[in-house]
Amino acid sequence: MKKPEMTEAILAAKAQKKLSWEQIADKAGVSPVFATSACLGQNSMPKEPADRLCAALGVPGEVSEALQAFPHKTWDKTVPTDPVIYRLYEIVGVYGETMKQLIGEKFGDGIMSAIDFSMTIEKQPDPKGDRVVVTMNGKFLPYKVF
């Protein structure tokens, strides 16, 4: 089974069982961000959480095997039209250079790892309208001189 078919099976089971990503992640024993990303084909999942996730969703073992397979990560270079994803592009477009400059001042010349990385997405109630709180936590990787 390929990653796209795996994702289709997971999304169908998720809808049929009326489970949230938080509930699925809890049953698998991983974070909601990681579980969602793996189910959408962007990360591989270790065997034990993959098996737990599949048991919770009632999907066959081939889905677990596909979850465990290494992904082929790609994305289109064009600006997306989905409003949520577009706004993230907009944030990087407006604040990306600012983030780069501030990271450089605080850490030196390097990057934030997307491998040694975690992210949380929280809802913060606010009387003027609920807030989305995205926290990204990545290891700093300095560029090497060779």
List the chain pLDDT tens, one digit each, 146 residues: 999 999 999 999 999 999 999 999 999 999 999 999 999 998 999 999 999 999 999 999 999 999 999 998 777 778 888 999 899 999 988 888 889 988 999 999 999 999 999 999 999 999 999 999 999 999 999 998 78
CATH fold label, 83-142: Cyanate Lyase; Chain: A, domain 2 (3.30.1160)
Which pTM value belongs to this model? 0.80
Domain ranges of the chain: 3-68, 83-142
Of 8, 48, 90, 97, catalytic: 90
90 is catalytic: yes
Query: Is 22 among the residues known to form the active site?
Result: no
Which is catalytic among the residues 62, 113, 118, 131? 113
Which one of 5, 8, 87, 131 is the catalytic residue? 87
Active site residue 20: no
> Chain-centre distance of CA 120, in angstroms?
9
Same fold: 3-68 with 83-142: no
Does the 3-68 domain belong in CATH 3.40.50.300? no
